[in-house]
């Protein structure tokens, strides 16, 4: 079977926005301008709102475009009684705190004018206690016409009293998130129509929340068929943290959030700097530390797990609203962040940056990883420059977007690979270790039909002077200073 994925994703650099925390717009409607909100700079709480909205995003589009981002992925924006909005009340209404449907339409217009794509978060496994159909059940009990929309077990239901059995299935045992009964054709059709509606309104794709929880046969195949019938270039990406082969066969998703890349990359670049207490309950294995040989094994397994067309539309990331931020995970070590970003922006698939990471916003696990975007005087300009340079490098080299990925060598802490597209050959080498490291790569020139030797990018200003790049016949010898990464072209 021939697999088709959206071409634009292969050239995209995503910026993930948690809308309540990115920016408050100056043109927010009058009824919403005097609400009792949390202080923007105060540490976030689980239930508080800071008042970020889509108007604020519109006002920051120039900032994002200037850095080189050309796609935005939003965590949920639909009406909800939670700051993260995974508790959906109405799938057809953008939350009024975010500006309502009007703000989204203005955002789509402004983003598309700049050539930027917009990806929304689809929470289709479960709804909320405030979702009309479930709320009717709470009001009318067994007399409700919507009983078969959810997984009711016994009566009475207890939606709020934790001392009593809920008597219905909630996602992960959470009674605030009643699970849909996807075996009900009416539920299935409702979700399909929601997906279709927003594609028709102009969004460029869906990120699907916990899609592995929807076990109804053929569900995601139908979802893909109906979305692609409206827009063949719509992007469908699933939140699957582990092996995703059953969803990446070309009939369901175009990619997944590539946490297998995330974990391995952090374990290599941050190593023993990783704070175990922060990552211990997460399932993407950024700890314990690994060396270059182990990293090579993990990356080769990952690259052989899915078809190449799918690899090019994976959504690669280093952090998200579901993890601590990399800077905090790595004990505030800037070198770890820069090395990880070098690997992120040179890996097949679309890189995604979590809002604020580009300016060094810290944050431990939820809710701390969802802080307000910092004021300019708090920005880490070194990390901002790193992101700007790596994004520009990716945009300027087709090899980094759709080129072949070939491992050249892994020894000790040194990892070397190449990206090749026609005559464009780049070599990327990193040494996340604490000592000068050397590696001798035999016959590389013959295999590449090229001898890249000019340093296009380095993770530090001192790195080029301290790095040795020596070609002898077709052999490449590299000596890399500690905590350093380079790109040769």
Task: Considering the candidates 239, 254, 322, 333, report the single residue annotated as catalytic.
Answer: 239
**Reported confidence tier of residue 280, pLDDT bands at 50, 70, 90:** confident
Q: Which residues contact 79 (CB under 8 A, 6 or more apart)?
A: 85, 88, 89, 90, 93, 94, 95, 96
Q: What is the pLDDT of residues 129-169, one digit of tens each?
A: 999 999 999 999 999 999 999 999 999 999 999 999 999 99
**Reported confidence tier of residue 31, pLDDT bands at 50, 70, 90:** low
**Reported confidence tier of residue 27, pLDDT bands at 50, 70, 90:** confident
0.95 surpassed by pTM: yes
Q: Would you state the pLDDT for residue 34?
A: 77
pLDDT at 29 over 70: no
Q: Name which of 11-20, 282-291, 348-357 the model is least confident about.
A: 282-291
209 is catalytic: yes
CATH architecture of 403-488: Sandwich (2.60)
Contact 55, 27 (CB under 8 A): yes
**Reported confidence tier of residue 282, pLDDT bands at 50, 70, 90:** confident
**Reported confidence tier of residue 361, pLDDT bands at 50, 70, 90:** very high
Q: Would you state the pLDDT for residue 227?
A: 98
Q: Would you state the pLDDT for residue 26?
A: 82
Q: What is the pLDDT of residues 42-76, one digit of tens each?
A: 999 999 999 999 999 999 999 999 999 999 999 99
Q: What is the pLDDT of residues 165-179, one digit of tens each?
A: 999 999 999 999 999
Q: What is the pLDDT of residues 290-337, one digit of tens each?
A: 999 999 999 999 999 999 999 999 999 999 999 999 999 999 999 999
pLDDT at 33 over 70: no
For range 448-473, the mean pLDDT:
95
239 is catalytic: yes
Q: Would you state the pLDDT for residue 32?
A: 64
Neighbours of 231 (CB within 10 A): 16
The chain-wide mean pLDDT, for the chain, equals 97
Percent of the chain topping pLDDT 70: 99
Chain position carrying tokens 């350093």 = 484
Domain boundaries, the chain: 7-125+180-396, 403-488
Contact 69, 42 (CB under 8 A): no
Q: Name which of 192-206, 375-389, 441-455 the model is least confident about.
A: 441-455
Task: Considering the candidates 204, 209, 291, 357, report the single residue annotated as catalytic.
Answer: 209
Q: Would you state the pLDDT for residue 82?
A: 96
Q: Name which of 23-37, 166-180, 459-473 the model is least confident about.
A: 23-37
CA torsion through residues 275, 281, 287, 288, sign: positive
Q: Would you state the pLDDT for residue 415?
A: 98
CB environment 313-327: b (16+ within 10 A), e (fewer): bbbbbbbbbbbbbbb
Contact 269, 345 (CB under 8 A): no
Chain position carrying tokens 């569900």 = 219
Q: Would you state the pLDDT for residue 28?
A: 64
Q: What is the pLDDT of residues 86-124, one digit of tens each?
A: 999 999 999 999 999 999 999 999 999 999 999 999 999
CATH architecture of 7-125+180-396: Alpha-Beta Barrel (3.20)
Q: Which residues contact 50 (CB under 8 A, 6 or more apart)?
A: 20, 21, 24, 37, 38, 39, 40, 44, 83, 372
Q: For residue 374, which of 384, 359, 352 has the smallest C-alpha distance?
A: 359
pLDDT at 30 over 60: no
Listing DSSP states for 468-481 in one string gives: EEEEETTEEEEEE-
CA 168 to chain centre: 31
The length of the chain in residues reads 489
For range 253-279, the mean pLDDT:
97
Q: What is the pLDDT of residues 393-431, one digit of tens each?
A: 999 999 999 999 999 999 999 999 999 999 999 999 999
């Amino acid at each position: 079977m021939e697999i088709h994925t959206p071409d634009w994703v292969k050239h995209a650099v995503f910026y993930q926005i948690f809308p309540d925390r990115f920016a408050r717009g100056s043109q927010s409607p009058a009824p919403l301008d005097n609400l009792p909100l949390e202080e923007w700079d105060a540490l976030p709480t689980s239930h508080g709102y800071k008042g970020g909205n889509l108007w604020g995003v519109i006002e920051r589009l120039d900032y994002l475009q200037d850095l080189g981002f050309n796609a935005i992925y939003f965590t949920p924006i639909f009406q909800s009684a939670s700051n993260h909005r995974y508790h959906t009340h109405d799938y057809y209404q953008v939350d009024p705190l975010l500006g309502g449907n009007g703000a989204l339409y203005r955002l789509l217009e402004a983003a598309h004018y700049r050539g930027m794509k917009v990806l929304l978060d689809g929470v289709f496994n479960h709804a909320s206690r405030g979702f009309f159909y479930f709320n009717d059940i709470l009001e009318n009990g067994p007399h409700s016409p919507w009983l078969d929309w959810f997984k009711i077990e016994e009566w009475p239901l207890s939606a709020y009293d934790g001392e009593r059995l809920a008597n219905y299935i909630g996602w992960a045992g959470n009674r605030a998130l009643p699970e849909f009964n996807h075996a009900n054709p009416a539920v299935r059709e409702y979700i399909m129509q929601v997906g279709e509606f927003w594609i028709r309104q102009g969004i460029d794709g869906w990120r699907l929340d916990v899609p592995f929880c929807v076990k109804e046969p053929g569900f995601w195949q139908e979802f893909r068929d109906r979305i692609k019938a409206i827009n063949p270039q719509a992007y469908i990406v699933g939140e699957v943290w582990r092996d995703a082969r059953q969803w990446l066969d070309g009939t369901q998703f175009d990619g997944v959030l590539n946490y297998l890349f995330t974990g391995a990359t952090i374990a290599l670049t941050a190593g023993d700097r990783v704070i175990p207490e922060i990552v211990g309950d997460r399932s993407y294995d950024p700890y314990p530390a690994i060396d270059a040989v182990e990293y090579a094994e993990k990356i080769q397994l990952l690259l052989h797990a899915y078809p190449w067309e799918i690899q090019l539309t994976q959504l690669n990331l280093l952090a998200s609203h579901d993890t601590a931020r990399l800077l905090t995970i790595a004990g505030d070590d800037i070198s770890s962040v820069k090395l990880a970003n070098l690997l992120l922006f040179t890996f097949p698939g679309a890189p995604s940056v979590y809002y604020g990471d580009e300016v060094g916003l810290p944050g431990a696990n939820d809710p701390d990883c969802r802080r307000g975007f910092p004021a300019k005087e708090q920005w880490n300009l070194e990390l901002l420059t790193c992101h700007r340079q790596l994004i520009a490098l990716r945009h300027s080299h087709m090899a980094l977007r759709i080129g072949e990925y070939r491992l050249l060598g892994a020894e000790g802490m040194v990892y070397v690979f190449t990206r090749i597209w026609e005559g464009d050959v780049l070599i990327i080498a990193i040494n996340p270790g604490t000592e000068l490291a050397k590696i001798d790569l035999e016959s590389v020139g013959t295999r590449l039909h090229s001898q890249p030797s000019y340093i296009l990018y380095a993770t530090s200003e001192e790195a080029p002077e301290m790095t040795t790049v020596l070609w002898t016949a077709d052999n490449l010898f590299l000596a890399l200073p500690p905590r350093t990464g380079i790109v040769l072209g």
